[in-house]
Amino acid sequence: MSQERIKELAALLHEHNHRYYVLNQPIISDQQFDAWMNELEALETFHPEWRLSNSPTQRVGSDLSQKFEKVAHVRPMLSLSNTYSEEEISDWLQRVKEGLGTNDTELVMELKYDGIAISLFYEKGVLVRALTRGDGTQGEDVTANVKTIKNIPLQLQGDYPSSFEIRGEIFLPKADFERMNQERMAQGLELYANPRNTASGTLKQLDSREVAKRPLRAMMYFVLCDEWMANTHYEQVVMAGSWGFPVPLTDLKMIQRVTTTEEVMSYIHHWDVHRNDLAFDIDGIVIKVNLLQSWDELGMTAKSPRWAIAYKFKAERVSTRLDKITYQVGRTGAITPVANLVPVFLAGTTVKRASLHNADQIEKLDIREGDYVWIEKGGEIIPKVIAVDLDKPRGGQDPHVYIQHCPECQTELVREEGEAQHYCPNADGCQPQIIGKLEHFVSRKAMTLEGWGVETLSAFFKEGLIRNIVDLYHLDLDRLVGFEYSVWDEATQEFRKRSLQSKTIENLKKSLVQSKEVPFERVLFGLGIRHVGETVAKKLARALGSIDHIMRANKEELLAVDEVGEKIAESIVQYFQIKEHQEWMTQLKEAGLQLASHHVDNVQSDLLATKVFVVSGVFEKYGRDEIKALIESHGGKVSGSISAKTHFVVAGRDMGPAKLEKAKSLGVPIISEMDLDQMISPE
Say whether residue 112 binds ligand IVH (CB under 6 A): yes
Say whether residue 533 binds ligand IVH (CB under 6 A): no
Least Å from the CB of residue 310 to ligand IVH: 6
Least Å from the CB of residue 68 to ligand IVH: 18
Cα distance between residue 279 and residue 175, in whole Å: 7
User: At 99, phi and psi to the nearest 5?
Assistant: -60, -35
User: At 347, phi and psi to the nearest 5?
Assistant: 45, 50
DSSP 8-state class, residue 335: E
Least Å from the CB of residue 624 to ligand IVH: 53
Binding mask 645-664 for ligand IVH (x = CB under 6 A): --------------------
Dihedral sign for Cα atoms in the order 49, 50, 52, 57 = negative
Least Å from the CB of residue 347 to ligand IVH: 19
Integer-rounded Cα Rg, in Å, for the chain is 29
Least Å from the CB of residue 219 to ligand IVH: 8
Binding mask 179-218 for ligand IVH (x = CB under 6 A): ----------------------------------------
Are the beta carbons of 247 and 167 closer than 8 angstroms?
Answer: no
Cα distance between residue 146 and residue 152, in whole Å: 8
Contacts of 611 (CB under 8 A, 6+ apart): 41, 635, 636, 637, 647, 648
Cα distance between residue 394 and residue 387, in whole Å: 12
Binding mask 266-285 for ligand IVH (x = CB under 6 A): --------------------
Say whether residue 110 binds ligand IVH (CB under 6 A): yes
Are the beta carbons of 108 and 164 closer than 8 angstroms?
Answer: no
CB of 131 or CB of 329, closer to ligand IVH:
131
- Pairing mode of beta strands 484-489, 335-346: unpaired
Say whether residue 165 binds ligand IVH (CB under 6 A): no
From 111-119, 146-154, 236-244, 469-477, span contacting ligand IVH (CB under 6 A): 111-119
Cα distance between residue 132 and residue 167, in whole Å: 10
> What letter represents residue 359's amino acid?
A
From 55-63, 303-311, 359-367, 666-674, span contacting ligand IVH (CB under 6 A): 303-311
Work out which of 6, 37, 71, 117 binds ligand IVH, going by CB under 6 A.
Answer: 117
CB of 133 or CB of 647, closer to ligand IVH:
133
CB of 80 or CB of 544, closer to ligand IVH:
80
Q: How many amino acids of this chain bind ligand IVH (CB under 6 A)? A: 15
Burial class (CB in 10 A: 0-12, 13-18, 19+), 396: exposed
Nearest to 588 by CA among 471, 477, 451: 471
Q: How far, rounded to the nearest angstrom, does the alpha carbon of residue 609 sit from its chain's CA centroid?
A: 20
Cα distance between residue 627 and residue 623, in whole Å: 6
Is 648 in a helix, a strand, or coil? Answer: strand
Cα distance between residue 143 and residue 630, in whole Å: 32
638 pairs with which residues across the strands? 613
CB of 36 or CB of 311, closer to ligand IVH:
311
Least Å from the CB of residue 481 to ligand IVH: 57
Choose, from 70, 112, 324, 539, the residue flagged as catalytic: 112
CB of 137 or CB of 577, closer to ligand IVH:
137
Work out which of 41, 44, 140, 169 binds ligand IVH, going by CB under 6 A.
Answer: 169
497 has catalytic annotation: no
Binding mask 121-160 for ligand IVH (x = CB under 6 A): ------------x---------------------------
Residues catalogued as catalytic: 112
Residues engaged in binding ligand IVH (CB under 6 A): 78-80, 110, 112-113, 117, 133, 169, 221-222, 286, 305, 308, 310
